[in-house]
Amino acid sequence: MKPAPFDYVAPTTIDEACAILAEAHGGATVLAGGQTLLPLLNLRMSQPFILVDINHIAGLKGIARVDGGTLIGPMTRQCEAIENTALQQHLPVLVEAVRHIGHHQTRNLGTIGGSVTLGEPAAELPATAVALKATIEVRSIRGSRNIPAADFYLGPYMTVLEEDELVTGIRFPDWSPGHITLFRELAQRPGDFALVGLAGALSIESGKVARAGLAWFGMGPTPMRARAAEQLLLGQSVHEIDPQAVAAAAINDTAPFDDQHASAEYRRTVGARLFASTLREAIRVREAA
Amino acid sequence: MSAPNASTGNTERTAVADTAQNGATRVAGMGSGRYIGKRAPRKEDPRLLTGRGQFVDDISLPGMLHVAFTRSPIARGAILSVNTEVARDVTGVHAIYTQQDLAVFNADMISFYLVSPDIKTTPLADGRVAYVGEPVALVIADNRHIAEDAASLVEVEYAEEDPVVTIGDARSGPTVHPGRDDNISVQMGEEELDEELADKLDSAPHLVTQKVVHQRISQSPMETRGVVATREGAQELTLYITCQSPHLVARWVSLALGVPQTAIRVIAKDVGGGFGLKNHPWKEETAVILATMLFDRPLKWIEDRYENLTASCQAREQEMVLQVAFDNDGKLLASHGDYSVNNGAFPQLSECNIAVHMFVWAAYKMPAYGFLTRGWYTNTPGYAAYRGPWGMESLIRETALDVAARRIGIDPIEIRRRNLVTLREQPAESVMGIPLEDVTPAECLEKLLEKFDVGQFRAEQASLRKEKRYLGLGIATYIEPTGAAGAITTMTGELAQVRIEPTGKVTATMSTHSQGHGTATTMAQIFADRLGVPYEDVSVFEGDSSRGGFSPGAAGSRQGVIAGGAAIMAADLLVSKVKTLAAHVLEADPGTVTIEDAMVRIEGSPEKSRSLAEIANIAYGEPDRLPAGFESGLEAQYRYQPPPMTFSSAANACVVEVDVDTGFVTILRWISSEDCGTAINPAVVEGQISGGLAQAIGMVLMEEVGFDARGNPVAATYKDYHLPAISDVPDFEFVHASTPSQSVGGMRGVGEGGAIIGVPTLVNAIADALSPFGEVPVELPLTPTRLLSVIEGRDLGAKAGSETTAVMASQPGAAPVDATPETPVAPPQATAEDATEAVRIDGDWNMALATPMGAQEMTGHFETSGETLSGYLASAEGQMDFTGTVAGNKLQFDLKVVKPMKITLKYNLEVNGDKISGKCKMGIMGSVKVTGQRAT
């Protein structure tokens, strides 16, 4: 279990990294925290010609409050995100999601950008980025663009990222103070990929849902945005919400599959149930507050 | 997870207590004295816990090169060509071998019983491949990176054929091995149910038919397989290999390679788990050893985890149907078991697990039992042992008893009390003829119930059900044959060699081997205890075939029982030597000499006390002071031959909660009540039980080696092969019954029990929790999908792997490939010859008996005179005469044997031309196939 031969480069600036990616014409793979990539290299499931190590680029690290939101550098370690007070205050769903990634040891090296960019459909962060309506900032020698997370994922490990593009930031908009937070993950053991997972946020203004973001993980080939459920919730009074009905709408936006850990029907059945109970509990907590 | 909380899944379980460490604190300051029964700190731990252990991958030799394998990407097919040209050109590649190159050695890949397998098994694929991952070519290179690069460049052209993956495929599909009639690797018992037994089953007031499907398991030792091989001159071979017994590996290699054993040294200082996978080398290790001999440079191969999960031998994958008849009081009347096991393509032994039938009702008052047992070849990695290989007997019996209890309406504890053979009822004999003298499952159960208030639990269970919370109690009992010696070639006694050094310290070399068993600790406790020296003064060496003597090592829960007895006997010999010498030197009566705390004392004469070192110095260095005829030095050895079998017993209880929203199981409490006789070190005993129970939890809830319809493994990493983590294993509670056994020291084996009894205990607890919803089909693992299907009363969907059967069944074109090639003498023609009295029976025949331990070869000599038959059967083990009858081409005769047990073998054979075939009925053991041809 040794990787196939590759060239290794460790640029120190974003421009340098983009130049290398452009020159490689698809033959390069970016190394962030390596918690997924290194096993893939060792299994020879990934065989790049050039490994571009972006761990030495200072400009890709850190968490900053920006106008109307939070900008997270892709090389921010998952353990740093958990400890960050700004995130705890503004993006509690994101912090909860990061807590569920892998294990304590893997979170020390694993990065926010690595997980968002890889696009594992059963992983926590891609779905959380979709639910929280994050924007993924990418750069290449051709220029920059901002891609809504909901448009970023194409299939398992497949995204709209071009071969010369580098993710330079993930921008999460602020949700109104006191927004309703939803997060639930069902996994066989701590650290396993989800059999069923969901993340979401509801902004409440004058007692009504003003903004809704909901997405599933482990429930299809990509993070699955629950658009119909979002629509159903918008404008509803909090006390009028029928969690069962919202869950039924949400489960319609999934496309789960059979694997050796759970059947598609299991995922649908338990998914709808967990969605309803998570929403019910979140509303109960809010109304009690 | 006492309250349903699906977001964290099974994460809130408590961690298992480090019993060994707790024990260590208790033993501190104990000083010298009685060590047997104490929680002595393990001698192995300081080096293992500080990263100073020596495993195979820690070995690096001058000039050593590295090996990687090119493996088959298909499950079944012919190899059309192998092209190594491109791979050879890689810089750093030294050689690439295929089976053609290794064939010069003609290695005989024998089984654990040292018998040649029924099907030719070669280190590398020989013309055909029979499972995904089968090694096809071996690459030798400067390092593993280069070796893997080159291995991926070896071009192999295959003609792929439809594979036989499941037991179902094997029953109806093409033959895995060309030239065989079917995919049955071995069969015993009767295909048709005995009429008398059928009547008993049919006429019983209650008949329970229990089906169990046990998934395939990867033994998953923490240290994967690996070998460093080096030739030390033309005729010497040193192997560093991770194994369960360096002595058995040396013996195996010597026989398999046809090289003298004296020139083979096998070293395995520390081993990171074996669990049955490392009994002896198999394809890859043998290929590396042969390549070393061919290339004459030290070679290293370390199996990576991907190889271990996909291409190593694997275990379990069994299906069994057990019919059990009860009267209206829940008493057993009769039973029948039909068992099948997937042996893969190249099993380490053709297994039909006769032990399942031997032990299924051994501790129960069962009047009648019949069985059929079969092993099946498939295009999957071969079968190897796994801790408690016959565990199906406990799983199916104990779950069937609970189903029966629910159906008849009696308590599951009561149904066991009514049927278990109690100590007072012994000696007794089981339905399969096993003598029972001191088994104690009934007593373990009563001890367990002293610690667990069933009434209180039932009340709690009933009240929680009203809140839609579902708790369940699982109870199971079992007995386990341990410390077997004498009936099987490799299952020998154990050797202890011990000496008091001139320094007064004690050094022992043992035939034992530890893969985490702590034998260097437990044996040191025995020596310290019996010799009267501090535990710290004793060093035990093992793990090197040039030390100690032969034993199979860790196999069959035997080391504590047999090596423990050997250590006691050797120590006692040495004590008597010390006493003789001390009495002579100190002018005292030997009966007044005592040894305690490494001091030799004479009763009543404190001034004569001498340190053991002083006495030892005299023994080694002052021959003039020795008594006449006294052998100088202080050394002793003893090879202990124990009773043929020593039984351990246990009863376990487990409480679970099943979340009916998700089908997730949380283990709330687990009590183990076992009887392993004298517990040399209770912490080691509890460690063994805990590890086995953890593996049981894995088997019931999460582990599974699966294949898709093409025979591709679907769990190739630990992301998909789920082992229980510390968060999945509860804090076990222990009760020790400690009934001394008949063996020296009174020990009983305890290595495998947890992995056996844990499985039915947990299944029963889950079934009890879900009993309001219906019976839980015992198809392991009990995934959340399967349990939710029971809870909701609908099938939530098969998992991906189980489409296999359907795919195979939908291929009508897959006719048996060997339907035509073999052309035996056509039976009709033979019958015609028979009519004209042309049947030639007289003379010598080469015959083979297809037993579960491998083909037993023998020569049959027949002489006919009218209807009378006489002659003999001769094998390596001797010759036995018989007389019988002849009718046309049919022969009948009986042979009485006493080994391994007293049985009458009834032969029914038929001669057709130059071929002979038929059956041998081995008493209660059922029938096996006999084949052969006329000797030329």
Q: Is the pLDDT of residue B827 over 50?
A: no
Distance of CA B908 to the CA centre of its chain: 33
The reply to whether residue A260 touches residue B704, judged by beta carbons under 8 angstroms, is yes
Let me know whether B389 and B466 are in one domain.
yes
pLDDT, one tens digit per residue, over B273-315 is 999 999 999 999 999 999 999 999 999 999 999 999 999 999 9
CB neighbourhood size of A264 (10 A): 18
Residues in chain A, total: 289
Q: What is the average per-residue pLDDT within B756-768?
A: 98
In a domain, B36, yes or no: yes
Helix spans in B770-877 (H):
784-792, 804-809, 827-835
pLDDT, one tens digit per residue, over B716-751 is 999 999 999 999 999 999 999 999 999 999 999 999
The single-letter DSSP state of residue B705 is B
pLDDT at residue number B261 = 59
Let me know whether B709 and B596 are in one domain.
no
Q: Is the pLDDT of residue B685 over 50?
A: yes
In a domain, B83, yes or no: yes
Burial class (CB in 10 A: 0-12, 13-18, 19+), B502: middle
Let me know whether B519 and B636 are in one domain.
yes
ipTM beyond cut 0.90: yes
B797 touching A (Cβ < 8 Å): yes
pLDDT at residue number B832 = 41
AA letter at B490: T
End-to-end CA distance of chain A: 54
Number of domains, chain B: 4
B800 touching A (Cβ < 8 Å): yes
pLDDT at residue number B14 = 32
pLDDT at residue number B855 = 75
Residue B199: helix, strand or coil by DSSP?
Answer: helix
Please state whether beta strands A135-140 and A69-72 pair in parallel, antiparallel, or not at all (unpaired).
unpaired
Find the CB nearest A260 among B304, B664, B800.
B800
The reply to whether residue B799 touches residue A260, judged by beta carbons under 8 angstroms, is yes
Q: Is the C-alpha dihedral spanning B142, B148, B150, B156 positive or negative?
A: positive
Structure tokens at B555: 């196999």
User: In which element (H, E) is residue B646 found?
Assistant: strand B646-659
Mean pLDDT, chain B, rounded, equals: 90
CATH of residue B514 = 3.30.365.10
Find the CB nearest B800 among A44, A259, A278.
A259
Domain range for B563: 31-54+487-640
Burial class (CB in 10 A: 0-12, 13-18, 19+), B614: middle
Give the separation between CA B339 and CA B390, rounded to whole angstroms: 11
The reply to whether residue A188 touches residue B8, judged by beta carbons under 8 angstroms, is no
- With CA atoms as reference, report the closest residue to B189 among B346, B316, B360, B399: B360
The reply to whether residue B664 touches residue A186, judged by beta carbons under 8 angstroms, is yes
Read off the pTM.
0.90
Contacts of A185 in chain B (CB under 8 A): 7, 9
Sequential pLDDT tens for chain A (289 residues): 899 999 999 999 999 999 999 999 999 999 999 999 999 999 999 999 999 999 999 999 999 999 999 999 999 999 999 999 999 999 999 999 999 999 999 999 999 999 999 999 999 999 999 999 999 999 999 999 999 999 999 999 999 999 999 999 999 999 999 999 999 999 999 889 999 999 999 999 999 999 999 999 999 999 999 999 999 999 999 999 999 999 999 999 999 999 989 999 999 999 999 999 999 999 999 888 7
In a domain, B212, yes or no: no
In a domain, B72, yes or no: yes
Contacts of B722 in chain A (CB under 8 A): 188-189, 192, 261
Helix spans in B6-79 (H):
19-27, 45-49
The domain made up of A7-53 has a fold known as: 3.30.43
Homologous superfamily assigned to A180-288: CO dehydrogenase flavoprotein, C-terminal domain (3.30.390.50)
Q: Which residue would you say has higher pLDDT here, B66 or A287?
A: B66
Q: Is the pLDDT of residue B777 over 50?
A: yes
Helix spans in B275-352 (H):
283-295, 305-310
Domain boundary among the residues B640, B658, B687 is at B640
Q: Is the pLDDT of residue B1 over 50?
A: no
Lowest pLDDT segment from B265-269, B601-605, B645-649, B925-929: B925-929
The reply to whether residue B661 touches residue A195, judged by beta carbons under 8 angstroms, is no
Q: Is the pLDDT of residue B900 over 70?
A: no
Let me know whether B474 and B340 are in one domain.
yes
End-to-end CA distance of chain B: 72
What share of chain B has pLDDT > 70, as a percent?
Answer: 91
CB neighbourhood size of A47 (10 A): 14
In a domain, B371, yes or no: yes
The reply to whether residue A189 touches residue B796, judged by beta carbons under 8 angstroms, is no
- With CA atoms as reference, report the closest residue to B672 among B901, B451, B928: B451
The reply to whether residue B784 touches residue A192, judged by beta carbons under 8 angstroms, is no
A190 touching B (Cβ < 8 Å): yes
Nearest chain B residue to A183 by CA: give it: B7
The reply to whether residue A185 touches residue B706, judged by beta carbons under 8 angstroms, is no
Query: What secondary structure does DSSP assign to B100-112, as a single string?
Result: HHHGGG------T
The reply to whether residue B796 touches residue A190, judged by beta carbons under 8 angstroms, is no
pLDDT at residue number B897 = 77
Angle at which helices B412-419 and B392-408 cross, to 10°: 110
Domain boundary among the residues B792, B812, B846 is at B792
Find the CB nearest A260 among B662, B706, B788.
B706
B664 touching A (Cβ < 8 Å): yes
AA letter at B121: T
User: In which element (H, E) is residue B736 found?
Assistant: strand B733-736
Angle at which helices B753-769 and B682-701 cross, to 10°: 50
Q: Which of residues 125-184 of A touch B (CB under 8 A)?
A: 183-184
Let me know whether B560 and B594 are in one domain.
yes
Q: What is the average per-residue pLDDT within B46-67?
A: 96
Q: What is the torsion angle, in degrees rounded to the nearest 10, for the CA atoms of residue B717, residue B719, residue B721 and residue B722?
A: 150
Let me know whether B335 and B433 are in one domain.
yes
CATH of residue B875 = 2.40.128.120
- With CA atoms as reference, report the closest residue to A166 among A130, A133, A134, A142: A142
A189 touching B (Cβ < 8 Å): yes
pLDDT at residue number B810 = 32
Q: Is the pLDDT of residue B814 over 50?
A: no
A60 touching B (Cβ < 8 Å): no
Structure tokens at B172: 């109806």
The reply to whether residue A260 touches residue B727, judged by beta carbons under 8 angstroms, is no
Query: What secondary structure does DSSP assign to B480-532, as a single string?
Result: EEES--SSSTT---EEEEEEE-TTS-EEEEES---SSS-HHHHHHHHHHHHHT
Q: Is the pLDDT of residue B7 over 90?
A: no
B806 touching A (Cβ < 8 Å): no
pLDDT at residue number B903 = 77
Q: Which residue would you say has higher pLDDT here, A152 or B822?
A: A152
Let me know whether B526 and B669 are in one domain.
no
Find the CB nearest B784 among A183, A191, A195.
A195
Domain boundary among the residues B606, B640, B674 is at B640
Radius of gyration of the CA atoms of chain A, in A: 19
Let me know whether B477 and B499 are in one domain.
no
Q: What is the average per-residue pLDDT within B591-619?
A: 96
* Number of Cβ pairs < 8 A linking chain A and chain B: 112
Contacts of A270 in chain B (CB under 8 A): 6, 661-663, 784, 788
Let me know whether B516 and B634 are in one domain.
yes
**Most distant pair of Cα atoms in chain B: their distance:** 98
Let me know whether B147 and B255 are in one domain.
yes
The reply to whether residue A270 touches residue B662, judged by beta carbons under 8 angstroms, is yes
Helix spans in B173-267 (H):
195-203, 246-257
The residue ranges of every structural domain in chain A are 7-53, 58-173, 180-288
In a domain, B472, yes or no: yes
What are the C-alpha distances in Å from B645 to residues A103, B554, B558, B562, B747?
46, 16, 9, 10, 12
Band (pLDDT 50/70/90 cuts) for residue B901 is low
Q: Is the C-alpha dihedral spanning A151, A155, A157, A158 positive or negative?
A: negative
Q: Is the pLDDT of residue B818 over 70?
A: no
The reply to whether residue B661 touches residue A270, judged by beta carbons under 8 angstroms, is yes
Nearest chain A residue to B716 by CA: give it: A43
Tell me if B477 sits within 8 A of B649, measured CB to CB.
yes
In a domain, B457, yes or no: yes
B12 touching A (Cβ < 8 Å): no
Tell me if B695 sits within 8 A of B60, measured CB to CB.
no
Residue B932: helix, strand or coil by DSSP?
Answer: strand
What are the C-alpha distances in Å from B895 to residues B263, B870, B874, B881?
41, 12, 12, 8
Band (pLDDT 50/70/90 cuts) for residue B922 is confident
In a domain, B821, yes or no: no
pLDDT, one tens digit per residue, over B173-205 is 999 999 999 999 999 998 888 899 999 999 999
CA angle, B588 then B590 then B595, to 5°: 100
CATH of residue B86 = 3.90.1170.50
Give the separation between CA B108 and CA B106, rounded to whole angstroms: 6
Tell me if B478 sits within 8 A of B395, measured CB to CB.
no
The single-letter DSSP state of residue B14 is P
CB neighbourhood size of B104 (10 A): 10
Query: Into which CATH architecture does domain A58-173 fall?
Result: 2-Layer Sandwich (3.30)
Let me know whether B282 and B319 are in one domain.
no
Let me know whether B510 and B478 are in one domain.
no
The reply to whether residue B6 touches residue A193, judged by beta carbons under 8 angstroms, is no
CB neighbourhood size of B166 (10 A): 24
Q: What is the average per-residue pLDDT within B542-546?
A: 95
CB neighbourhood size of B455 (10 A): 7
B468 touching A (Cβ < 8 Å): no
A260 touching B (Cβ < 8 Å): yes
